[in-house]
Amino acid sequence: MKLNELREIKGKKKLVMLTAYDWQMARILDEAEIDLILVGDSLGMVIQGYRDTKKVTMQDMLYHMRAVARGAKHTPVIGDMPIRSARTVKDALRNARRFVESGAQGVKVEGNKPEIIRVLLDAGIPVMGHVGLLPQTAESHRVKGKQPTEARTILSDARELDRLGVFSMVLECIPEALAGRITRAVMAPTIGIGAGKFCDGQVLVTNDILGYDQGFAPKYLKRYANLNKTIKRAIAKFQEEVLSGLYPDNKHTYH
């Protein structure tokens, strides 16, 4: 699937996007035939151990982009433009091109930045928009758009991004009714995270749905596995066998 074709399938099928930060996970997602892979700046939290995404650098993103691109042979990969990567139009264009050179088919830009988005699109770089909660600039992680004024701003931003020609847009942590209104108002497919069922698709952080971190539990997160427990059990078994001398046995030894 090409990114610029996504507008044509709006309303015909739900889109599934998940995050990847390494070759192995990218390969798994690719084999699972999901629609889109996002190399998200969420790696700041799930890979680097920061509280938020505000310390993630462009170098961090490119390192993980190259790894993911090697694993995703068929699924389009999107690079998340990190904080400070688009302070000027010149910076944004240079960094977006670096993403493409590293294997991205498109980039995601947080917020309503028409001048930057227009330049990227004119350069032939597909752009995914992002409205609602903007983690790179938000002071706290809370639902956006509950107040009428804030809701109108989010809707206006989404409409402007749509007019610019983004191939899709993420709606993060906004009321379901507002997400539905935006989805009906724009031609680009909407992909929700904490935005309810009326979006054209959904995205979650893969590490979260697999249950790596039991302490992270926003309302919108549904865990589909508990790898935290599974991994600990496997490690405990390995440790037990090493200490008891059961591993390595003859089967697992070269002769």
pTM: 0.97
User: In the prediction, which pLDDT does 1 show?
Assistant: 74
* Residues forming the active site: 172
Confidence at residue 168, expressed as pLDDT on a 0 to 100 scale: 98
**What was the pLDDT predicted at 26?**
98
Per residue in 129-138, pLDDT tens?
999 999 999 9
pLDDT of residue 44: 98
- For domain 3-224, give the CATH number: 3.20.20.60
Instruction: Indicate the domain borders of the chain.
Output: 3-224, 226-255
Model pLDDT, residue 74: 97
According to the model, what pLDDT value does residue 4 have?
A: 87
Strands 168-172 and 106-108 come out as unpaired
What pLDDT shows up at residue 55? 97
Show the low-confidence residues of the chain (pLDDT under 70): none
